[in-house]
Amino acid sequence: MSFVLGFVALLLWSRVTNSDPQINLLQDGCSLHNVTNSSAFAATFNDTLDDLRSSISGSNSSLFATSHRPALQSVYSLFQCRGYLSAADCLACFSAAEGHIRRCGAADGGRVIYDGCFLRYESIPFFDQVTPLQNENSCDGRNATTGGFTTSVRSLVEDLSAATPRIPKFFAAVAREGVFAVAQCVETLSEEGCEQCLTAEVSNVMLCLPSTDGRALDVGCFMRYSDESFFPANRTVDLSPYLTNSYSGRSKSSNKWALIGGVAGGVGFLLLLLVVISLLWIRRSRVQRGPPKGDISRGTKFQSLLNFRYKDLKNATNNFSEKNKIGEGGFGDVYQGHLKNGRTVAVKRLAIAQSSRARADFQSEVKLISNIHHRNLVRLLGYSSKHEDFLLVYEYMANSSLDKFIFGDKRGFLNWGQRYGIIVGMARGLSYLHQEFHVRIIHRDIKCSNILLDDDFQPRVADFGLARLLPEDKTHLSTTFAGTFGYTAPEYAIHGQLSEKVDTYSYGIVVLEIISGRQCNDLKLEPVTQYLRDWAWKLHEQDRLLQMVDETLDPSDYSPEEVKRIIKIALLCTQFTVAARPTMSETVVLLLSQTDVALQPTRPTLIDASKMIYEEAIE
């Protein structure tokens, strides 16, 4: 029987051709609001669509985005094909979407979603949007003839929802037990955003059962199942490496063993019930007494912030000894600490004024920071403020900070793949702080020493939110903090003008450091008398960008075109004019779009801005 099913599936698969752009319309819509200047918008909108078409024609990527920001009207656009479409079909799907979305006229936003692709534009950034309330499903009119199909669909879409956020490019196509299914998230989302979107889509697509073809669609993700193949056989993905442990134990045994397990389970249920009741009684008594301070051995990622005893942290860090010091910076020194429960943590001793107002601000800001959870941000575990010192307790990063791997004693260890992952992860973390968290947080001090690396060399931005603790009459841009001025945007360092684009500028400088292996203001490195950004601009104008690539990188390990594209993005981030810099969410899109059509950085008016900033600051 399994052979027959397999043979039938193979026949169905053979019906899939390479000339099907899959332009079955699933959803379309236009904004109810029109732009204020229709002629300016039309010109910008046409340029946007032209850029998208050029990007698709010159790349094998499935994600394309542009960000036009003229003075009168902004246009942000995003186009993505399903991961199984050929390059020709992707272009054909775009042509259909382009013609359809032009029906929106002067509306300031619109979208069209086909089976094979989607196109969206807005007058404001939307690249990190997960899901609005208008998510939908689309079902065909046929019903499955057996209950086994419904069971197989439920199992497969649940596995897709669990695995896809962990798969590169957030795309998976699977054929299993006569069911063909795909799941895809927009690549500009974070892993958490993809997971959130697909969780909602599982519920939506289930509503189609017992129909033999169902879809769930949203601005952030797409899911489809069918009893007929709709993607090539060579695009399938093995989900098993990406599934969580909760799925690894899924029963695959026969009915015989299921019956035996059911009988045994029935007998064991009574014993388990007694054990659970006993444990709940014990736990209740412990909760009533209250947990010991500083004990996080039983914590989960949703555990509330802990108020540590000062003496416990003092003992954990060996009285804040120099031997335990693992870092220092503008906000204070950092010490490695070993708690009584065996957990290793990082304890930051803040260098801020002691006053009742400072203490109140500290507790308020700490509470705010504790609500921030993102895979690319260092997690705050607890604090201590009842002593003369203000202490923050963070998760410990065994691989320390990025600066040690870029121009420190571990230089040359990171390959291009790891560096690219760090570049993207940093952008995702900053985008979350700027636009996804309910309070906008501007870091103000992005540099390699404030980027920590976890066990998998994924970046974790540190020290976010701490600038808000500083007194208003004191800036953290002090000459005692080496290297800060090379990273600081000119409008902030010279005029004190603060916006999220300050972080964008600093991010661009760090990206140049990651690629070159050279510190931004280290004149001891060749070429002499040139700051890193100035050097990059000159190489860009001379079309010699590859000359700045770190000599420790293996040339066979990276694509020259990809490296040049990332450098151009960094230069775009370091534009002298604030409005010319992308937001961090737009930067994420540029990093993932695999095209440089929209990358047209212009040489800053003040080419030696970083040098001028440094000199003016120390005067």
Catalytic residues: 445
Query: Among candidates 69, 155, 37, 177, which has minimal Cα distance to 582?
Result: 69
What distance in Å separates the CA atoms of residue 300 and residue 303, rounded to the nearest whole number? 5
Q: Got the DSSP string for 503-520?
A: HHHHHHHHHHHHHH---T
Q: Are 19 and 89 in contact (CB under 8 A)?
A: yes
Going across the sheet that includes 306-307, the strands are: 306-307, 380-384, 391-395, 344-350, 332-338, 325-329
100 to 34, 95, 111, 114, 177: CA distances (angstroms): 17, 9, 9, 11, 37
What distance in Å separates the CA atoms of residue 25 and residue 575, rounded to the nearest whole number? 40
Structure tokens at 500: 């999220």
Angle of the 560-573 helix axis to the 501-516 helix axis, nearest 10: 150
Q: Are 475 and 498 in contact (CB under 8 A)?
A: no
Burial string for 440-472 (b: 16+ CB within 10 Å, else e) reads: ebbbbbbbbbbbbbbeebbbbbbbbbbbebbee
H/E stretch holding 226 reads strand 221-226
What distance in Å separates the CA atoms of residue 114 and residue 459, rounded to the nearest whole number? 35
What's the one-letter identity of residue 137?
N
Query: Among candidates 319, 89, 96, 85, which has minimal Cα distance to 222?
Result: 85
Structure tokens at 35: 């732009």
Strands 306-307 and 380-384: parallel
